[in-house]
Structure 1
Amino acid sequence: MDNTPFPTKEYADRLAALRHRMEAAGIGVALLDEIEAMTWLSGYGSSLNRWRCVVVPLDAEPFFLIRALDAAPCRQRTWIKDIPTYRDWEDPMPVLAAALAERGLSRARLGLDFNSYAMSVHRFGQLRAALPGMELVDMGPMVNELRLIKSPAEIGLLRRCSAVADEALRRAAAACVPGGTQRDAARIAVSAYVELGADPSPPGPISAGTGWDFLHGHLSDVPLSAGDVVHIELTPRIAGYSARIMRCVSLGRPAASLAAAADTLVALQDEQIAALRPGAVAADVDAILRDGVIRTGLRPAYDNITGYTLGLYAPQTPRTSDFTRILHPGAGWKVEAGMVFHIYASAGGASISETVLVREDGPERLTRFPRGLIINDIGD
């Protein structure tokens, strides 16, 4: 194994933690086929062009089933030595069944996440048909739960990525000038990612800032003019670990209402971030921002969450955000040290967000860009 961000011990600790959960759940073999779970445990993950999985027995060595074409890059990145393969035109389920039988695992109780985006109804039927002697049980998001608490090494990657986000934001915001375009900001952000040591990846949502539901709007090639507001959310990744930051850029002096909205959001979010302490109830943390925005009249209702967990995002995943834990009015879970969140808010045409680590002694903002509306002086 080479070219991996973590030492072997990191993966050994993850394997031990998973097996502890498996034993408690009465699972003899775990099957992981979501790319985040596979990568977190093994160091490698690939797209769903052809199905693949990591199989973890409770008392034997794991193996990685993958198409033959991807076996070489898999070996370069994973500590797993046992890598059975299949040809592109073959059904992988009989190959999986044979691999389990050869290793004496074909009568074990097999756990998988029934909500896995990689396990369609059709594929599950194929799996069941290929493994008639195995009991298939739902182990739920077991790996996602384990991924919630970040190790020191993971936090180190997120710190580095947050610094990239800060600098990329500075450069992208500076490109928001009359005659320029949102595409210019996107190009500069992506270039900054690569130059600063992050993975080549999409920049994140860049759009016009109006109202509150503009966060996932479309990139525009229309030339910018005085008075425009550009929403920038940057999502750089290092070894797949993503930090996130949002700001709005005003071309020239902002409208008084926009400036006031931005100031209100900053104040409310400062209070919300300060409340992210171990033991805090998630719904209470959420209410600080949510209720405050409604109380000040910036929005009549708040129909989206105010934060979610951050961590590993494989480039081929269909999920652009990790909602294993989200901040909303019904969230009864408690904040724990080692969690990392994307805390975000939008209202009145303004938006702001941060990457926040929860430490034993309270929150730490990993993104450090100055808070508030960015105002580009255009001589008005």
Structure 2
Amino acid sequence: MQAREHAVWERSFPVGYVLAYEDADGEKQYGARCVSAEGVFADPVPPPREVLTLRGCTPAGPLLEAVASASGPYRPFPEIRVGVRDDRQPLQWWTLVDTTVLAHRPSATDPDLVDITVGTGVREEHSWPQPLPASPRFELFAGGRAASVSAGSCQGIDGLFTARRPAPPLPLRLIGCEPAEPLLAVLRRPRAWERDWAQLWALDRNGRRMTRLEVGLGIQDARPSVLGGTLLDITLSDGGERPSLIARSIWETWYEGIPTTPNQWAAHSAQGREEWLKMTAMGMNGQRPDRSGGEHNLDGRFATDVPGLHLAMAEALLGPGHYFGRAYDAFKDCLSGGFGIVPPFTLVWHDAGIARQALADDVSQEGLTYFEDVVRLLELRGATVVLD
């Protein structure tokens, strides 16, 4: 199913969204086209504040610095990721949001270890079906997933495994919709579909699928549209995970078409650049032919964070608006082929010192910074990297 097939109709309003669903064979099918949507963007509601105690800890990195701080208030962390694992692999991932060290003292079981009491919000990210071992290990990482550093480990966390009330779903209102089957069936029997999911495709002004959202098909309300005619306004009871408010201006830019000017992303924050990267990834529909050779110039002036590095890399190798990885593993996949270019080629990295300094604190287990890891990977794959 192609978005452009449903992007034109005999009405004065342009089609802004297409609702698509997956049939029993896994094929995308057309559900509806709509003029607009209200409530697309929403910053996540922070989880309620809690007090946890990290038992028997060996703090490292930023957490060690906070514990060693001689004066309060103690240094907060935007995020601490907790990996709950056995001897082989992580079994659960949790995120402690906006964490502050409240107190610390030597552990009662081992004076060489530390018990750390923190104030935080708790969010469970992922868990596998395996049961936890009798004595799980708790590994700590400070910072987001794209740029995390070790914060040490603990023997246990009091208060982590507590039942929490999930955040209420956020409704999403689709404006000016022309439904087809099976959405008409959903409207006739909403309860039968309330656990089903669909994709809401946001289109640019040319009818190209710009990005997509996963939305629930639970119908909260359907009524004649404020736009008139036979159109409907449909409120979905669960609009799914939303892009943040910061993404709105990025969607506005991409609505005009795939950007063709270099560094249009540069003025955005790291979070905004992540949203820009999502837009570039939507342009990847299957494998594409690769070319090799040539000299490519990377403008390093704005590679001040991980998403900025990858945006600058993609522009250097393929041009503005293209995708060539959002993080290290995805970048590695792109270098393996099918994304438009493969080594050997020459990459001249101008102002390389900016990324080297900006990512100096993002260190892998091998002791290399993110910048050094990227350069090494390029060279291992056969690229010549000139750091200017």
Shorter-chain TM-score range: under 0.3
* TM-score w.r.t. length of structure 1: 0.26
Bigger Cα Rg: 2
* TM-score w.r.t. length of structure 2: 0.26
Greater fraction of residues in strand: 2
Greater fraction of residues in helix: 1
